[in-house]
Every structure is written in structure tokens, then in C-alpha cells.
Amino acid sequence: MAVYTDVSAEQLGAFIAGYDLGELLSYKGIAEGVENSNFLVHTARGHFILTLYEKRVAAGDVPFFLALMEHLASRGITCPQPVHNRDGKTLGKLAGRPAALVTFLEGMWMRRPDAKHCIALGAALAELHLAGADFTKKRTNALSVSGWRPLYEACCERADGVQPGMKTAIEKELSFLETSWPRDLPQGVIHADLFPDNVFFLGDQLSGLIDFYFACIDTLAYDVAICLNAWCFEPDHSYNVTKGRGLLQAYMKVRALSDAELEALPVLCRGAALRFLLTRLVDWLDVPPGALVKPKSPQEYFRKLRFHQAAISVRDYGVEAGKAFA
């Protein structure tokens, strides 16, 4: 979440008037994250989250995201729900951007998740994958392997200014992944961005999932790889095998991972690390002037990528193929 587009009280008041939410009482920008403009909105009917879709989110994809949230909720996944306006629509326009209101989800995200949080996340991720199995809408993952080279080409000439040697390292890794990427693993709805700040807890209990604006149809185990990257490394960028084992075993108690999925995990983790290295690098180099956002360091994922490149098998992540609960 972030704020790239400012919204005046008059603009927002006119937008809210199209909903049965009462008068606008207050609002404030949410500065965390890097993708869309988000605001916490307080009306006479309560609190809501307003999102203006920017940057990598195509307006034509937004109905997919909103319909997915409604579908997942109908299958028991706790996530924000789109608010329908008086015309029955969930998508409108504000300040020249596609915009939607969703319900406010109680909870807070864990700045320093521990093993029990990773276990809760693993189970929730598997439940999300199962809940999405009968979702009929389709959206290709524009930020999967076929989308990485254009990102690289957009920033490669400046990459060494962030860290010496980064350009050559990324080029080599990209070439490897383009030829080695697994393409025959189980597919389905994935969140594709389930970082700790998109998972809410009340105490130690997971209370819901948010920010589905990268969700798509892709390899389910790739979503697991994204979460291993996001949840199981320490501040010094070392991999915490206890967290990884907990996440993977909790996931597999809900949805089994095949030996093929487990064997592909090191490559999938390399791809997940490169994906976020590239998007962070682009953001780091191209933050719009005046944006209320602090870009995240691409160097974090450069270091994580080094770990995955050295991994020999899924055993390095805490489990063994064929012996998931040993």
C-alpha cells in the first residue's frame, strides 16, 4: 500500500455519495507498500479501505480481483469484501484512477513473524489454494517468468549503481530460469504477494488476508516459494529452517505437495526471489516525485537469491520429498 495519487476531501465526498455509507467523516493515506494508492476511510457506517489502482495494475484486471475476494469469502477465507455502490457496481473512478472500496479487516501484521506465524500462514495459503479451485475467471500472471526480461531491460543499465555486479548476476539468473522454469506443475489461483504486511493477526491467531491485486492463475507451488522468501528469512538474510519447515508442513497438512512440486521448490524460490528483486529494482530507480512511499531495497532479494542458488534440494528448506512430516 502507498499513496501516489492525492485525493481531495471534495473528490472523496462526491465518490462516497454514490454508496450507501453515510457521510464522509475522515480519511488518511496509508503510506506502507509500493503498488497502489490506499486510504483508510471513515464514514457514518464505519471504516473502509479505498484503493486507487496504479502502476502495474491494469484497469481491466480489477474485476478479477474483486470477484476473487467475493468468491474466496464464500468459501470461508477471511478477506476484505468489495463494497457495491448504489448501482450495484464494485469498481468506480476517482482522481482519474480506477477505484474501489473494500471492507475493513481487523488485525495487525507481524513485523517480525516467528515460527508459529509461519505455521498459520502455511495453513492459510493452502486453504486459499483449495478455495480458489472452482473460481472460473482467469488472469495470467504478467509477473511470471515471461515478464521478467522486460523488467530487467527497463533497469539493467542502472543496476550496478545499486550494487556492483548486479546487472551481470541478474542476466545470468534470468537466462537460467527462462530455460529451467517448471511448466507442468499444478495450477490454480495464487495470491502472488502474500508478504507479512498482507496477513493480519489478532494476537497469535491469523485473522485474514488482504491485498489480492497480484492474484492470478499460476503454479500453486510458486505461491509457496513466494511465501518462503517473504516469511522465512531473518533480518541478516539467513534462511530460518524452523520457519520454513513449519510453513511447509502446515501447508501440506491442508494440501499435499507432490514430489514433483517439492523437487521444483529450489528453482521456484529462485524465480520468486528474482521477481521481487526486479520489481524492487524498478521501483527503487523510478519512484515518482512527491510520492508518499519509501521503496523497498532490492538488495534484500539479491541476497536471498544467493541462498536459493546454493540450495541443492527441498531438504535445504526444511522437508524432504516423500518424507514431508519426518
Q: Are the C-beta atoms of 235 and 277 separated by less than 8 Å? A: no
Q: Is 267 left (phi over 0), alpha (psi -120 to 50) or beta?
A: alpha
pLDDT of residue 326: 38
- In single-letter form, the type of residue at position 60 comes to G
Evaluated on CA atoms 54, 4, 27, 96, the torsion sign reads: negative
Q: Are the C-beta atoms of 27 and 39 separated by less than 8 Å? A: yes
Cut 0.75: pTM above it? yes
Sequence ranges of the chain with CATH classification 3.90.1200.10: 115-317
pLDDT of residue 325: 46
Q: Are the C-beta atoms of 139 and 215 separated by less than 8 Å? A: yes
pLDDT of residue 324: 46
pLDDT tens for the chain, 326 residues: list them. 455 688 999 999 999 999 999 999 999 998 765 578 899 999 999 999 999 988 667 888 999 999 999 999 999 999 999 999 999 999 999 998 999 999 999 999 999 999 999 999 999 999 999 999 999 999 999 999 999 999 999 999 999 999 999 999 999 999 999 999 999 999 999 999 999 999 999 998 999 999 999 999 999 999 999 999 999 999 999 999 999 999 999 999 999 999 999 999 999 999 999 999 999 999 898 866 555 566 788 999 999 999 999 999 999 999 987 654 43
Sequence ranges of the chain with CATH classification 3.30.200.20: 9-103
What is the spatial distance between Cα 99 and Cα 301, in angstroms, rounded to a whole number?
31
When the candidates are 3.90.1200.10, 1.10.10.10, 3.30.360.10, 3.30.1490.190, the CATH number that belongs to 115-317 is 3.90.1200.10
Q: Kindly write down the DSSP assignment for every residue of 61-101, as one continuous string.
A: GHHHHHHHHHHHHHTT-----BPP-TTS-S-EEETTEEEEE
Cell numbers at 220, concatenated? 500453486
Q: Are the C-beta atoms of 293 and 31 separated by less than 8 Å? A: yes
Angle at 315 between CA 311 and CA 316, to 5 degrees: 35
Return the CATH number of the domain spanning residue range 9-103: 3.30.200.20
Q: Are the C-beta atoms of 95 and 7 separated by less than 8 Å? A: yes
pLDDT of residue 6: 84
Q: For residue 252, how far is the Cα from the chain centroid? A: 21
What is the spatial distance between Cα 15 and Cα 5, in angstroms, rounded to a whole number?
15
Cell numbers at 254, concatenated? 491442508
By three-state DSSP, how is residue 321 classified?
coil
By three-state DSSP, how is residue 210 classified?
coil
Cα(first)–Cα(last) distance of the chain, in Å?
39
pLDDT of residue 321: 73
